[in-house]
Amino acid sequence: MAGWSRSSARPWPATAAPDSDRSGGKEALMTRICALTTVRNDRLFLPKWITHYGAAFGAENLFVLLDGHDQEPPANANHVNIIRLPHIPLERVAAMRRRARVMSRFAAGLFHYFDIAIATDVDEFIVVDPATGKGLAEYLAGLQIRGSVSALGLDVGQHLHEEAALDPARPFLSQRAYAHVSARYTKPAITARPLTWGSGMHRIKGRNFHIDPNLYLFHFGMVDYRLATGKTLDADRLATGWGAHLSRRERLFEIIANATPRDADAFLPIARRRQTWRRPLYAWNKPAMLPGDPVVRIPARFSGLV
């Protein structure tokens, strides 16, 4: 397991304190940011996850929880903190709840060392709008985060009539042009103090959410039809009740193929406002899905970011 120490880590990549409860002043503390994820049976996303968040925060500030001692980290994980957990199969809902508890408690411990902790699925990539002129670490350091902040969720899928199979060696966003604006991925993934995520990491228990105007969470679970549909053949997933869930997610290909894409720069501010105010009756502290399955064309300025 790659270790982490304050003495060995490179200088923190940003300069302003993220929490408004912290004092700024002339000698503002350096903002220390980490990212964490859990993963099992993945070869596509984890190398990309390490590259993306490592470029933003430093690979030594990434924490990967491998679900099972049979799992091997990718070649670019040399400086990443790898934690191996025993693989104990559970049904999907129970597994999601357990994962949220583990991530919440693990992140809570990291706040002894870091100011901001980002927790995502391995196929989720948070980016800041290039129009801000800032990188992710710099942008986050300038925020006043009292608890958590959410990035607007964009579920990226392959347009089966227009787009070729994915080349994993190339940036995903240079090969995919469409995304479903999905509240499922508007997650409170960015935290500035210990909090407790609910099942699936879709909400913070007992807390409201705030969607930042310049942050986006790109979900790539359905980025390629062949690779995505192959997940339904994963014996681990089938044995623990994931089959129906994955089949529902595969509807994204139909949504994108049949949609009339909207202009993202015009529609996304509207989507952000609607997600802020529309809440499920059963869960007031997470956004509701927008009607009509809106799809946007991803602006060209994002091409190559992931």
| pLDDT value, residue 282 | 78
| pLDDT value, residue 90 | 76
Contact 10, 58 (CB under 8 A): yes
| pLDDT value, residue 150 | 97
- Does a structural domain hold residue 3? no
- Does a structural domain hold residue 16? no
Number of domains in the chain: 1
Please identify which residue in the block is written with the tokens 């679970």. 221
- Does a structural domain hold residue 165? yes
Please identify which residue in the block is written with the tokens 């302003």. 16
- Does a structural domain hold residue 117? yes
**Closest to 108 (Cα-Cα) out of 191, 207, 1:** 191
Structural domain span for residue 172: 33-302
- Does a structural domain hold residue 70? yes
Does residue 177 come out as left (phi exceeding 0), alpha (psi in the -120 to 50 range) or beta? Answer: alpha
- Does a structural domain hold residue 234? yes
- pTM for the model stands at 0.85
- H, E, C per residue of the chain: CCCCCCCCCCCCCECCCCCCCCCCCCCCCCECEEEEEEECCCCCHHHHHHHHHHHHHCHHHEEEEEECCCCCCCHHHCCCEEEEECCCCCCHHHHHHHHHHHHHHHHHHHCCCCCEEEECCCCEEEEECHHHCCCHHHHHHCCCCCCEEEEEEEEEECCCCCCCCCCCCCCHHHCCCEEEECHHHCCCCEECCCCCECHHHCCECCCCCCEEEEEEEEEEEECCHHHHHHHHHCHHHHHCCCHHHHHHHCHHHHHHHHCCCEEHHHHHHHHHHHHHHCCCCCCCCCCCCCCCCCEEECCHHHCCCC
Chunked in runs of 10, what are the mean pLDDT values of the chain (306 residues)?
36 35 39 96 95 97 95 95 91 86 95 97 98 97 95 96 95 98 96 92 88 98 87 53 59 93 97 92 85 96 95
- Does a structural domain hold residue 113? yes
Structural tokens at position 18: 């993220």
- Does a structural domain hold residue 15? no
Residue 222 CA to its chain's centroid (Å) = 14
| pLDDT value, residue 92 | 74
